[in-house]
Amino acid sequence: MPSASPELTGRSALNRLRRGPVVRRAGWPFGRSGFPYDAVVRISLGISVAVVAALFAWGAWQRRWIADDGLIVLRTVRNLLAGNGPVFNEGERVEANTSTAWTYLLYAGSWVGGPMRMEYVALALALTLSVLGVVLLMLGTGRLFAPSLRGRRAIMLPAGALVYIALPPARDFATSGLESGLTLAYLGLLWWMMVRWSQPVRGRPDGRVFTGALAFVAGFSVLVRPELALMGGLALVMMLIAARGWRRRALIVVAGGFLPVAYQIFRMGYYGLLVPGTALAKDAAGDKWSQGMVYLSNFDAPYALWVPVLLCVPLGVLALAARRRPSFLRPMLSRDYGRAARAVQSPAAVVAFVLFSGLLQALYWIRQGGDFMHGRVLLAPLFCLLAPVAVVPLLIPDGKDYSRETGYWAAGAAGALWLGIAGWSLWAANSPGMGDDATRVTYSGIVDERRFYAQATGQAHPLTAADYLGYPRMAAILTALDNTPDGALLLPSGNYTQWDLVPMLPPPPGGAPNGQPPEKPQHTVFFTNLGMVGMNVGLDVRVIDQIGLANPLAQHTERLKHGRIGHDKNLFPDWVIADGPWVKLPPGIPGYLDANWVAQAVAALKCPETQAVLASVRAPMTAHRFVSNFLHAYEFTTYRIDRVPLYELARCGLPVPETIPPPPRE
């Protein structure tokens, strides 16, 4: 009988080290009871995943709601279904949604759902994806530890996953109608796939199909949320370093870059911008470090979030120390496989990758100033930071890998840390959160969004647009629209039960020039809460805001230094009157507005650069317009106007119109 080759013998020995003692007859290592150790690990992992998923789904359902910002996305979906394109207002190409993938996922879901209300489609998708994200996170971590647990007595317990689902904001935004659920599902999938990629010995998962799929998922990050490109891009860099051969690298580049690049070309040509309109409205490149630290403190303080962090770190260290090194580090598969590639495509590198990505995202949001919604934007970074300890193995000493004394000490310490995490989770899950400040817009500008709208609408679970008719001013909108059949601009009044109305300009004497048909009655609503307004009125009603999410003029104003975070642009209503077919003199305009400001805004809108920006989103979309927008996207993105009309005239070098005398006093 020929002897085995030295290389084969070496690999077999290495595999035996990785798998531990094996009972070949049964194929599984058995304990004294005859029950396979590996089955205990898998069953305990399955139970942990099922319990956490059920708790998260139940907790999220108890706090179900659809945010006003979630309704903003549905207005765009309505326009898509109506054939108006991915716009918020018909005839005005503004990208009012941050997550491209979430918009089109809701579009597909609403198309398939047919008569089902879009709000319920958003609710179902958000909840399903949120739970799926936690499941994938736990499965990825379980796979991370699986090789080192072969043949060892251990059970898998939820740790980081418990921390996440215990946080009230995590359960709030699981059903908010925002892209939070999609973000969790994406992060969980990327984590699971990266762990699998780091263990290529197990079933050779790093073939071309898997490599292409992982590259596609990594590149898709920017379409889920733009800042996730920090994570997806890093994953692609790691794959390129570890790839062997130019063909594999070409596959990674094409699979990872084709869809993001194609959509970026579409965005530049269709919207005339380099970034989503929301990023321009919030000046995502700006920085507000002090406000960001306030936001971080606001997220940490109600739940003493530093406690589980202190518990998870040593728990992760104990789990890492108890591993078998040959199973954790990737073995050398061939002599031509470089040292850097081996180091990058390893579980240790993937753990460093997810931790670094979480820290990078957290720093980005702190620099940006956070958000006005309590905890929202720090949930994804926390999700990444908890990934390596989403589940942890509790090893039962057997005297093989270390002495029984050391083993019992380590198991006891791990058990005590886990009990601490479980106890904190139970307390945090029932925490009052922000307390009395939850629904008040204080100096920090941060509120518990779900509780705020539940209180303001009188609905415990505001889910549909109709539920928001109980919000101040909402029902009055429908009344004002019915009472102005000839068209009007609706401006928010100091009285919550009415709106200030600016009528349309009357037709010129003798009718429209050149035989043109008379202008149809138009309605425009100028208000901050775009979602509840946009979903309660028809698509023929133009809905714009002073912040710039759906207003191309407000988008291009400068960010206010001390404005409320997320609302730190504020366009005066004078610009809205100047920009539309509305009466521009008293008594047609409200008494608190100055006719001179309106006249100056009318003159300022004649600035050639401003006209070019407005034409990029309002002129009919043609091949020439698409190419022009694409070539000028950088100029349009960086263009800014002054919110004070007189200063804007000076900036553009335009003459100031003659002063309009005030109306005589009666």
CA–CA gap between residue 66 and residue 178 (Å, rounded): 8
Total residues found in the chain within this entry: 666
pLDDT of residue 488: 96
Phi, psi angles (nearest 5°) of residue 644: -90, 115
Q: How far is CA 272 from CA 47, 258, 625, 637, in A?
A: 50, 20, 9, 8
Asked if 381 and 358 touch (Cβ cutoff 8 Å), the reply is yes
Question: Residue 508 has what pLDDT?
Answer: 73
The neighbour count for residue 339, using CB atoms within 10 Å, is 8
Which pLDDT value is given to residue 559?
87
Please report how the helices 246-270 and 229-242 are oriented relative to each other, as an axis angle in degrees rounded to 10.
160
Cβ partners under 8 Å of residue 635, min gap 6: none
Mean pLDDT by 10 residues, the chain (666 residues): 42 44 39 59 94 97 95 96 95 94 96 91 97 97 88 88 97 95 97 92 67 96 95 96 91 96 97 94 81 94 94 88 52 53 89 96 93 94 97 77 59 89 95 87 89 93 95 94 95 90 84 66 95 96 95 92 84 96 93 94 96 97 97 96 96 94 74
pLDDT at 365: 94
> Phi and psi of 24, rounded to 5°?
-65, -30
Secondary structure of 15-77 in HEC code, one letter for each residue: HHHHHCCCCCCCCCCECCCCCEHHHHHHHHHHHHHHHHHHHHHHHHHHCCCCCHHHHHHHHHH
129 Cβ contact partners less than 8 Å away, ≥ 6 residues apart? 181, 182, 184, 185
State both tokens at 659. 């002063």
Amino acid at 196: R
SS3 207: coil
In single-letter form, the type of residue at position 137 comes to L
Q: Where are the alpha helices (DSSP H) in 83-167?
A: 100-113, 118-145, 160-166
DSSP assignment string, 345-406: SSHHHHHHHHHHHHHHHHHHHHHHT--SBTTGGGHHHHHHHTGGGSEEEEEPP-SSSS-HHH
pLDDT of residue 13: 43
**pLDDT at position 177, please?**
93
